[in-house]
Structure 1
Amino acid sequence: MATVILVRHGRTTANATGILAGRTTGVKLDRVGREQAVRAGERLGVVPLVGVVSSPLERCRQTARAILERQPADGPAVSIERAITECDYGDWQGGKLSDLAKEPLWSVVQTQPSAAVFPRGESMQTMQSRSVSAIRRLDAAFETEHGPGAVWVAVSHGDIIKSILADALGMHLDLFQRISVGPASLSIVRYGTSRPEVVSTNSDSGDLSWLKAAPPVADAPVGGGAGPA
């Protein structure tokens, strides 16, 4: 099975000031976010990636470029996938989180996100459906082209990645707020024939060279197995 590494973009100016950027154009990484993206790229530099797919928004493309700078010159180029772009927050886009927290919809987003529909935006169920479908489709394509040892990266957004992880974990969307995905963090998922395997979540440190090992087996090891060499 192939391995997808879900990378959230680094911190942005909007993150730092408590603004819900949404799909606003021109929102870029701040100094901290650029450093975070470089560290993510350095960690991934030991892994031969077969593909880097990014949300079309600038902050994700910046993070994707930082990752590719640590890959060989003949490595993959960034491809854009609109289905993993940020949630359409509608009228909430550009608002201060402190103000949005006073809206009745805020508690729905926190406790029953499957029922949340942003005013003149999309529902969180639609957000999850499109992003999960895109990741599974891309993963299957990379495995078909490059084999079961293929490792690829998808650079996206916090709520998008949380919804993908919830699906892989078999969690209802209403539980996805239990998952934390920090800026420039890495989460690793493998889609097997029997079930997805969530290898790690919200990782911002540690060696990843073990991902160069032989392709993983489909069956889960009873008792937990020996882990990577």
Structure 2
Amino acid sequence: MATVILVRHGRSSANTAGVLAGRTPGVHLDDTGVQQAGAVGDRLAGVRLAAAVTSPLERCRETAKEITSRQSAPLRASTEKQLSECDYGEWQGRPIKELAREKLWKTVQAQPSAVTFPGGESMRAMQDRAVAAVRRHDARVTAEHGDDAVWLAVSHGDLIKSILADALGSHLDLFQRIHVDPGSVSIIRYGETRPFVLGTNTHAGDLSWLTPPRKARNRRRGDAEVGGGAGPATQTGRS
């Protein structure tokens, strides 16, 4: 199967204000966020991206544009509403320090699978739709471009954490052990038997090793190699 690069949007004005933005319209990248998105684009400049999808929210679309603009061939990201931010309901737009005093906050930390945000969605529903969307796009990209294809998905912190938890075979209640910063890169390859997590929350390093040399293509196995294997042919600058 193809390889998906999961990118959390760069830092936003809501992040710096300490507010849970949720799906509030008009939340954009701040100057640091633009720089973070550009840095991801530079890391991926040597990777031939077969496709790009993004959450419809502005901060993700802006991040995707910074990344795709650095590709050698024109690439435009399509929007995927199933990768949109969690519907936090009545929590949306409120200060984080205020939410941390809510009784539900402790459940979000310790047992997120039991959480349904007041007037919003459950964290289980968030994970289900996010994982389904990524797997659906991954299957499409694989069918259209082959097993060596690499594609981009730009989304939000909790969604990416939930996708990584699923790929790692971890219960949703353990997903708070995973950290995903603004402007970070995580990488998953979905095999026939299991997903392979190639990286989480990375911030630096050339990623051109994700595009294999032509002579090495289509040689990947669906099984994990005993002993760990030799790794990609080119690892210079690998994070």
AA in 1 matched with 2:174: L
Give SS of 2:49's match.
Answer: coil
CA distance in 2, matches of 1:20, 1:33: 16
Q: Does 1:217 align with 2:228?
A: no
> Which deviations, in whole Å up to 9, do the C-alpha atoms of 1:63-111 show, x marking residues without a partner?
0000111012x43311000001000000000000000000000000000
Tell whether the 8 Å contact from 2:69 to 2:75 is kept in structure 1 after alignment.
no
Q: Does 1:7 align with 2:7?
A: yes
AA in 1 matched with 2:156: H
Tell whether the 8 Å contact from 2:185 to 2:203 is kept in structure 1 after alignment.
yes
CA distance in 2, matches of 1:77, 1:150: 16
Q: Does 1:152 align with 2:156?
A: no
Give SS of 2:230's match.
Answer: coil
Tell whether the 8 Å contact from 2:85 to 2:159 is kept in structure 1 after alignment.
yes
CA distance in 1, matches of 2:137, 2:68: 18
Tell whether the 8 Å contact from 1:49 to 1:75 is kept in structure 2 after alignment.
no
List structure 1 segments (4+ residues) > 2 angstroms apart after TM superposition: 214-217
Give SS of 1:190's match.
Answer: strand
Tell whether the 8 Å contact from 1:20 to 1:93 is kept in structure 2 after alignment.
yes
Instruction: Specify the alignment match of 1:53 in structure 2.
Output: 53
Instruction: Specify the alignment match of 2:82 in structure 1.
Output: 83
Tell whether the 8 Å contact from 2:52 to 2:153 is kept in structure 1 after alignment.
yes
Instruction: Specify the alignment match of 1:68 in structure 2.
Output: 68
Q: Does 1:168 align with 2:172?
A: no
Structure 2 gaps of 5+ residues are 234-239
Give SS of 2:132's match.
Answer: helix
Q: Does 1:228 align with 2:222?
A: no
AA in 2 matched with 1:226: A
**How many Å apart are 1:136 and its aligned residue?**
0.3
**How many Å apart are 1:207 and its aligned residue?**
1.3
Instruction: Specify the alignment match of 2:179 in structure 1.
Output: 180
Moved more, 206-215 or 96-105: 206-215
Give the length in aligned residue pairs. 228
Change (3 A) 1:75 1:217: farther
Give SS of 1:56's match.
Answer: coil
CA distance in 2, matches of 1:219, 1:81: 30
What is the aligned-residue identity percentage? 61
Give SS of 1:154's match.
Answer: strand
CA distance in 1, matches of 2:74, 2:6: 18
AA in 1 matched with 2:78: S
> Which deviations, in whole Å up to 9, do the C-alpha atoms of 1:7-39 show, x marking residues without a partner?
000000110111000000000000110000000
Give SS of 1:77's match.
Answer: coil
Tell whether the 8 Å contact from 1:50 to 1:75 is kept in structure 2 after alignment.
no
Aligned-residue CA RMSD (Å): 0.8
